[in-house]
């Protein structure tokens, strides 16, 4: 694949920002809290470099919501938090008092719903520009180190789009990551469609 231009990356960032904005709107409608999502960083890396971009997690186990997709493009997308951050976010969204920095069954289900909304927001923006069929699996909860989250994928020649997000809820400020694992060919299809059709609106 040729070098990705800064213009392509800027458009990819804008697409992702639109999706995150829509996700924030849905979260605000569904919860009692005012949820603000910010996207300060969008990066594109090779899969083998994922460990170097997971510095904030160290070797600790992360809490993630994952959705696989296939069709015109194929890959996996995850919303990833350190576990204490995930717990703090769920307490803030539900309005419950923060009690413990781990996730019980009900909190995991809530996190799955948050992840589903955020991932669908981003994938929806990308899908709108592709105008092609994409199938999705139901969201699932995973606990693992960040480099091992995608260990079961059979995709070869993989790139990862990393979106660093800030969840601002009440007085809580939690960093999370949306990580999208893609085949080279899928990334090329997205960038090709951007070049052909993107006019700044969806």
Tell me the pLDDT band of 139, cut-offs 50, 70 and 90: very high
* 76 part of a folded domain: yes
93/2 Cα distance (integer angstroms): 42
Look over the chain and give the mean of its residue pLDDT values, rounded to a whole number: 84
The total of structural domains in the chain comes to 1
* 164 part of a folded domain: yes
* 202 part of a folded domain: no
Residue 92 has pLDDT above 50, yes or no: yes
Asked if 147 and 55 touch (Cβ cutoff 8 Å), the reply is no
Q: Give, in order, the Cα–Cα distances in Å from 99 to each of 65, 103, 127.
A: 22, 11, 39
Q: Give, in order, the Cα–Cα distances in Å from 122 to each of 98, 163, 168.
A: 29, 10, 18
Q: Give, in order, the Cα–Cα distances in Å from 193 to each of 61, 72, 145, 166, 186.
A: 36, 12, 33, 28, 11
The predicted-structure confidence for 23-72, as pLDDT tens digits, reads as follows: 999 988 887 678 888 887 888 888 877 777 665 666 678 899 999 999 99
Asked if 128 and 187 touch (Cβ cutoff 8 Å), the reply is no
* 45 part of a folded domain: yes
For residue 106, give its domain range. 6-197
Total-model pTM: 0.88
Asked if 52 and 132 touch (Cβ cutoff 8 Å), the reply is no
pLDDT on residue 23? 92
* 1 part of a folded domain: no
* Sign, Cα dihedral of 66, 103, 172, 30: positive
* 152 part of a folded domain: yes
Lookup: tokens for 107: 């909190």
* 36 part of a folded domain: yes
Instruction: Specify the residue for token string 């924030």.
Output: 24
CATH at 102: 3.40.1550.10
* 158 part of a folded domain: yes
What is the separation of C-alpha 116 from the centre of its chain, rounded to a whole number of angstroms? 9
Lookup: tokens for 100: 């413990």
* Sign, Cα dihedral of 93, 54, 46, 38: positive
Tell me the pLDDT band of 201, cut-offs 50, 70 and 90: low
What is the separation of C-alpha 33 from the centre of its chain, rounded to a whole number of angstroms? 21
The predicted-structure confidence for 144-177, as pLDDT tens digits, reads as follows: 988 888 877 765 567 888 888 888 887 788 888 9
């Amino acid at each position: 694949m040729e070098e990705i231009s800064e213009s392509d990356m800027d458009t990819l960032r804008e697409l992702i920002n639109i999706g995150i904005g829509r996700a924030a709107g849905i979260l605000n409608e569904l919860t009692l809290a005012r949820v603000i999502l910010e996207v300060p960083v969008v990066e594109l890396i090779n899969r083998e470099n994922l460990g170097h971009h997971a510095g904030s997690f160290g070797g600790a186990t992360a809490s993630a919501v994952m959705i696989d997709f296939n069709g015109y493009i194929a890959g996996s997308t995850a919303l990833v938090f350190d576990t204490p951050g995930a717990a703090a976010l769920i307490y803030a969204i539900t309005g419950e008092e923060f009690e413990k920095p781990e996730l019980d069954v009900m909190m995991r289900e809530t996190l799955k719903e948050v992840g589903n909304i955020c991932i669908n927001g981003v994938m929806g923006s990308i899908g709108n520009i592709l105008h092609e069929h994409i199938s999705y699996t139901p969201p699932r909860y995973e606990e693992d180190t960040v480099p091992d989250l995608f260990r079961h994928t059979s995709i070869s020649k993989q790139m990862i789009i990393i979106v660093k997000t800030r969840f601002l809820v009440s007085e809580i400020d939690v960093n999370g990551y949306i990580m999208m694992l893609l085949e080279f060919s899928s990334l090329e299809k997205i960038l090709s469609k951007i070049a052909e059709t993107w006019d700044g609106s969806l």
